[in-house]
A and B are shown apart, each in its own frame.
Chain A
Amino acid sequence: MADMINVYLYGKKYEVPSNLTIMEAFEYAGYQLVRGCGCRNGFCGACATIYRIKGKNELHGCLACSTKVENDMCVATLPFFPLEKKVYDITEIKPTQQVMMQLYPEIYACVGCNACTKACTQDLNVMQYIAHAQRGEFEKCAELSFDCVMCGVCSSRCPAGISHPQVALLARRLTGKYIRPEAKHLTTRVEEIEKGDCKAMMEAIMQKPIEELKELYNTREIEK
């Protein structure tokens, strides 16, 4: 059995085993979670959390599902943060610098405090990807922001009111749709399917008796 430590959940003291995650500590303390709990594995951003170790100044952002409790941890969850998402038509916008100015002009008010980067639960260089967005360098913004889970902790710390995850998402969609080169083999195959070129092969294989299909499967060539 793990050692017991003290944590402060919304300021109230609970004694919990030291090997739990923050999320498990809430459950151990008796919370039946509805908000602030999603994939429980670090991908969905539902369990954004802010904590301080009692007596220390530094404020930490983390995901409750993938952060272990520490002694004297003082925890507040951030199950929702009002990010500002602008609505756009992906088929009409273009990957130009102007699109950011139109949709997210507040990024140009960034004061360079770097609080977003310090708060990031995924250890991303948030301020840097915003700088790329400012310059219309969408591919770089997309790469640096790729692991973003959109938890919103960065935005909670931003004096300029930037909704960083939404800016990054726009940059990624612009990159995926307009900047990365077309997959020609994909275009070709889609055309073939739409023309009906794959039909004959499909019909042939679907008509095979099950024993023949099994034989075909068991002896099929596997690409090296």
Chain B
Amino acid sequence: MSLPYTAEMMESIKKVEAGRAARIGFEPRRMTADEKTALLQAFHPDYNLDSFEEIKVGPNAGQKAPKELVEILQGESRIKGMDLDLTNPDYDVDVLVIGGGGAGSSAAIEANEAGANVMIVTKLRIGDANTMMAEGGIQAADKENDSPAQHYLDVMGGGHFANVPELVEKLVCDGPIAINWLDKLGVLFDKDEDGRMVTTHGGGTSRKRMHAAADYSGAEIMRTLRDEVYNRKIPVVDFTAAIEIIKDTDGKAAGAVLLNMETNEIQIARAKTVIIATGGAGRMHYQGFPTSNHYGATADGLVLAYRAGAPLLYQDTLQYHPTGVAFPSQIYGALVTEKVRSMGAMFVNVDGEVFMHPLETRDVAASGIIRECKERGKGVPTPVADGIWLDTPMIDMIHGEGTLEKRLPGMLRMYLRCGIDMRKVPIVIYPTLHYQNGGIKVGVNGMSEVENLYVAGEAIGGIHGRNRLMGNSLLDIIVFGRNAGQQAGAKCKEVELKELTLSHVDDFSKTLADAGIEPTVVSPKLLPDYRPEGVTRLN
């Protein structure tokens, strides 16, 4: 396959190559706090006020959220007008876990460990989740020069001090315990011959605490957790989405209405405790951004919880990963792991100039790239979208030939499939919608403000403040997934369910009507629709 770059791109590469040797060993200046603030306000998509709207009803009424999120939060229930019999549930369990990613699986394993009868429902397959796609690594302060307190400082600073301190405390103090748990389950972390974890920096870390399994870190964790779920014979009901939370007459969470994604059959699950582990929202394509997220990332859990009365936190803040693929088209928006920069690759503009430190926090790095392209006009033009060079050949120059292949096999494969050998030529990147910083508000016990409704993983808001650091998401799904499973697994023993009801769904619908809001969509969204427009088809 011949290199698919245009002649114009090849000209620019000459400038990138000319400066490469001089870049080895050179560390670009990091921005001051004031410079970062000014950059974010001018260029970060979260500050693009036109793309936000006020939420009109519910616990967060009066606050802002992305327009697309407001639309589904104020959407019409999929069961509107249906009279469902809740007295003969199809499933009756202690703990119902909604979502089969890393958080849901961790929660299910711990609930099972606690002796609870636990079941997972997931709208695709177990493992079809952002966890599977997390490439770079997982943070934890387990080296001698590091400490949970040091990790805490990085998390708070990275999140612009908006994080909920108690959640961060849990995250960092349970971090090494989470790594140990995974290690004992048999996750193949990168270790040296003495067993020491090979750890690197991520953007905004002050210590090298990024543990990895090559660049399949999330996949390696996910397939191990999935295997453990199967070994424990935890029932997994796949291709089944939760479309409403069911409560009991005391107003406590008591199950969910389920939808078979293939047959459209509606089923009822009754549960003493419910854990929402539905993940993120990349497939909402906020502000028209491409996304690095898996197919089902449509913020379902936020809709379910909100209708059930649970407040959200920081629903107006999203993470745009600085290095999404800008070219070629078949992998547009896909993630290029931050580990590529941890290992030395730098951002270079069309003129071959380094314009910022490669390891600023993600929000700052993304904003810097947007500025370089939009304001300074120094982006690299491609047939798909303008972007910035990420100078990947630097990696083998710094660490020796063969390093990129060994430490970044997934990235190398992804680009080789497109005819691009990233060991030899740089790649073009641009920010991609990556992570939902906000989500459902929880306490340290993982419970939302609806009794017995727990949340785990990306659906939680508050852990990461207004910006998450690399490697803290894999950590949070394990720490807060396990936590939710332990808490829900213990709590279910004292729950006495009353009669089941969906009156809150009707009430929410009435509230919308009273506010003069006519829903424009049904929600939760469940899946995006990528079929071409302008075609006449039934439904």
Contact = CB atoms under 8 A, between A and B. Distances in A.
Contacts of B531: 27-28, 30-32
B133 to A, nearest CB: 5
Nearest to A37: B295
A37 B220 CA distance: 19
B356 to A, nearest CB: 16
Contacts, number: 221
A115 interface: no
B67 interface: no
B239 to A, nearest CB: 7
Nearest to B416: A123
A198 interface: yes
Contacts of A150: 223
Nearest to B182: A176
Contacts of B294: 38-41, 44
Given A20-B330, A30-B531, A44-B133, A38 B231 contact: no
B183 A183 contact: yes
B194 A146 contact: no
A181 interface: yes
Contacts of B261: 34
Interface in B135-172: 141-145, 147-150, 152-154, 156-157, 161, 165, 169, 172
Interface string A180-219: 1111111101100110001001101110001001101110
Given A39-B132, A41-B331, A202-B169, A185 B142 contact: yes
B142 A176 contact: no
Interface stretch (A48-56, A82-90, A128-136): A82-90
B76 interface: no
B251 interface: no
A46 B124 contact: yes
Given A89-B231, A175-B188, A38 B147 contact: no
B434 to A, nearest CB: 12
Interface size range on B against A: 35 or more
B183 A176 contact: yes
A180 B417 CA distance: 32
A217 B417 contact: no
B186 A90 contact: yes
A12 interface: no
A46 B125 contact: yes
A174 interface: yes
B149 A204 contact: yes
Nearest to A223: B207
B228 interface: yes
B7 interface: no
A164 interface: no
B121 interface: no
Nearest to A47: B295
Given A41-B133, A150-B223, A186 B142 contact: yes
B330 A187 contact: no
A185 B145 CA distance: 11
Contact of A43 (B133, B156, B233): B133
A205 to B, nearest CB: 5
A46 B214 CA distance: 21
Given A202-B169, A210-B161, A222-B206, A30 B231 contact: no
A189 B148 CA distance: 10
Contact of A32 (B157, B186, B527): B527
B323 interface: no
B156 A85 contact: no
B239 A34 contact: yes
Nearest to A220: B206
Nearest to B141: A189
B150, B152, B227, B414: most-surrounded residue (chain A CB, <10 A)? B227
A34 B527 contact: yes
B195 A198 contact: no
Contacts of A123: 413
A223 B206 contact: yes
Contacts of B124: 34, 37-38, 46
Contacts of B176: 186, 189-190, 193
A193 B148 contact: yes
A147 B330 contact: no
B409 interface: yes
B29 interface: no
A175 B190 CA distance: 12
Interface of A: 19-21, 24, 27-28, 30-35, 37-44, 46, 66-68, 85, 87-90, 122-123, 142, 146-147, 149-150, 169, 172-178, 180-187, 189-190, 193-194, 198, 201-202, 204-206, 210, 213-214, 216-218, 220-223
Interface of B: 32-33, 124-125, 127-128, 132-133, 141-145, 147-150, 152-154, 156-157, 161, 165, 169, 172-173, 176-177, 179-180, 183-189, 191, 193-197, 201, 205-208, 213-214, 216, 218-220, 223-224, 227-228, 230-231, 233, 239, 261-262, 292, 294-295, 328-331, 334-335, 409-410, 413-414, 417, 527, 529-532, 535, 537
Give the 4 A-B CB pairs with smallest separation, nearest first: A181-B195, A173-B186, A217-B157, A176-B186
9 contacts: A28-B531, A34-B527, A146-B213, A176-B224, A183-B191, A189-B176, A201-B147, A204-B149, A217-B156
